[in-house]
Chains A and B, each alone.
Chain A
Amino acid sequence: MVHFDKPTYTVRRTRKKEIPHGLYTKDPVTGESVFTKELEDNQMVVPKSGHHFPIGARQRIAKLVDEGTFSETDAGVRSADPLGFVDSAPYPTRIKKYEKESGLPEAVICGTGKIHGIPVSLAVMDFRFCGGTLGSAAGEKITRAIELAVADKCPCIIFSTSGGARMQEGILSLMQMAKTSAALGRLAAAGLPYISVLTHPTTGGVSASYATLGDVILAEPGALIGFAGPRVIKDTTKQTLPAGFQTSEFLLKHGLVDQIVSRLELRDRIGELLLALHVKKKAAPPTTVVNT
């Protein structure tokens, strides 16, 4: 007798909203199931619909910089607990949980690398670590990345994704907005380009500091970008929000964002912009000799 094993199914867990875990992932645009491996190979962009799922900082960096050029900096900068903050759990316990869940030391990964051969200083945020919130450690790392760009005379690129300032560090979180923006003032004074890439979601204190200070501001399609979140606006003002409010597309139309760029094209687009703003030269295309 032929014995058939019960097929094994992978149950999709929705522990972290919108971050695919199972074998198949449902595309919220078409409702179709996508093979998760295929999604991962495509930088978490659904091939058919173009829907952008969140992507981890390390996965992003791997596809962004020239192969083998990334060198991480300041990996040892970690969150402390300056206020001794306790809500339903002590803040240090939460941090340990985020470290474990995300496999990251902080909400931002920094380093140097090359894009199309052009050296850059890079800071990439990751939403999985405490909602990408900006605390003292993240602020310190981003500030160092900007200062490194000034010291090395290279462009700075920051990918933002954040729920805002990290409440558990109180006023010190708010001050990271001032610290990072002041550093960007020095970068601007040094005549070095800063490209800010807004990804889903970029809100609160991060939107009101370095995220919106780019010489060029790019956004991934369909990202939620704003200062106050939609619920806060509704609760405070009782206003109805227009369709598509606070999306990348809305902000392109309303003049905040320079371009909306698919994640799959970001590397090349950034490379092209750096050529224009930083290298300021491009090899001329081969001239066609016309015989007369």
Chain B
Amino acid sequence: MEKPAYVLEFEKPLRELAKDLDALHQKSMEHNLDVTPEVKALENKLEQTRRDIYSNLTPWQRVQIARHPKRPYALDYVGLICEGFQELHGDRQFNDDRALVGGTAFFNGEAVMIIAQQKGRDTKENIERNFGMPQPEGYRKALRLMKTAERFKLPVLTFIDTPGAFPGVESEARHVSEAIAVNLREMAMLKVPSIAVVVGEGGSGGALGIGVTDRVLIFENSYYSVISPEGCAAILWKDRSAAPKAAEALKLNAATLEGLGVVDEVLPEPFGGAQNDPAQAAAALKYALQKHLNDLRALDTETLLNARYDRYRKLGSYEEAGVVHS
């Protein structure tokens, strides 16, 4: 028997309607009844409910989709849009972080360097991948590979999908903050084109640690935030269950991020989320990556670096002499 599909809380009405529909089919077969009008009505209702739910997703519901256990992960996309991925392991200093991986690949026939935050599909894999939470070694490996890319003039494509950098004793003892900080500075200076895509969770500094790129793309149900909604709720509302409110207040969804200038393009997902049709999501990503790569390749290094500096330089909103700059 097929394993039941993973259903998010807000998707439950759809599951109920689908069950009713099955029951109706079953009944018609058993009793040889013509239930065509009833089936038609129920199907219409199902479609209408589907539209109602997925066309009006709240920020918190989108966070749920971004964390969906069936959502395509970074290496799924790499497999779908690239050929010949050669994983290159280790930071050459301490360890090989399985939550942040990288290597060479060919994208539309051209060599690129892939840097990817990777979650696991099941418990065993999640333990190996540390639930997608990189440690300092992951960031240092990412930097090593970006420097390799720079030396061989390969564009860098990064895939962001992390709840955040790992908040653990080992991670702190080996200075995860320094590892992230160095990446921010070095990525800003990297002499090759770079594009980041937020494929799932863009969890704070852990995401930014591979995210200082010429272009930042984001899937429409992904989020990118300074803090997790739960963390924000715990601090400002003193209650983790206020996460939906915090998600709303943090303006962490793709469309608002584009409005703030933090992301350059929002990539469409199949209805209900990328998990429903990974190939379709990958096709949208492939098209956008090629377009942005073409634009960036046309720039000389100095123009590229100045444009990147300006891109981050102008982010923020502050008041000066009665004028709000944003």
Seen from chain A, the residues whose Cβ lies within 8 Å of a Cβ on chain B are 74, 76-80, 82-83, 85-88, 135-137, 139-140, 143, 165-167, 169-179, 181-186, 188-189, 204-205, 207-213, 226-228, 232-233, 236-237, 239, 241-242, 245-246, 251, 254-256
Seen from chain B, the residues whose Cβ lies within 8 Å of a Cβ on chain A are 165, 167-169, 171-178, 180-182, 184-186, 188-189, 204-205, 208-209, 211-212, 224-227, 231-232, 235-237, 249-252, 257, 260, 262, 308-309, 312-313, 315-321, 324-326
User: Residues of B contacting A205 with CB < 8 Å?
Assistant: 204-205, 226
User: Residues of B contacting A182 with CB < 8 Å?
Assistant: 184-185, 188-189, 212, 308-309, 312-313
Q: Which of B165, B175, B212 contacts A212 (CB 8 A)?
A: B175
**Distance between B239 CB and nearest chain A CB, rounded to angstroms:** 11
Work out how many contacts link A and B, with CB atoms closer than 8 A.
Answer: 200
Given contacts A80-B319, A181-B185, A228-B167, contact A246 B172 (CB under 8 A): yes
User: Residues of A contacting B211 with CB < 8 Å?
Assistant: 178
User: Residues of B contacting A174 with CB < 8 Å?
Assistant: 204-205, 208, 225-226
User: Residues of A contacting B312 with CB < 8 Å?
Assistant: 175, 178-179, 182
The 6 A-B residue pairs with the shortest CB-CB distance, nearest first, are: A136-B316, A228-B167, A182-B188, A181-B184, A82-B317, A227-B177
User: Residues of B contacting A207 with CB < 8 Å?
Assistant: 177, 181
A226 touching B225, Cβ below 8 Å:
no
User: Residues of A contacting B180 with CB < 8 Å?
Assistant: 208-209, 227
**Distance between B106 CB and nearest chain A CB, rounded to angstroms:** 29
**Distance between A189 CB and nearest chain B CB, rounded to angstroms:** 7
User: Residues of A contacting B169 with CB < 8 Å?
Assistant: 233, 237, 239, 241-242, 245
A165 to B207, CA, bound (A): 14
**Distance between A200 CB and nearest chain B CB, rounded to angstroms:** 16
User: Residues of B contacting A172 with CB < 8 Å?
Assistant: 260, 262, 315-317
User: Residues of B contacting A226 with CB < 8 Å?
Assistant: 172, 177
B184 touching A178, Cβ below 8 Å:
yes
A209 to B211, CA, bound (A): 13
Given contacts A185-B188, A227-B165, A239-B169, contact A175 B176 (CB under 8 A): no
A172 to B259, CA, bound (A): 12
A210 to B177, CA, bound (A): 10
**Distance between B183 CB and nearest chain A CB, rounded to angstroms:** 9
A181 to B180, CA, bound (A): 10
Q: Which of A83, A88, A136 contacts B251 (CB 8 A)?
A: A83
A186 touching B317, Cβ below 8 Å:
no
Q: Which of A83, A137, A185, A227 contacts B205 (CB 8 A)?
A: A227
**Distance between A198 CB and nearest chain B CB, rounded to angstroms:** 11
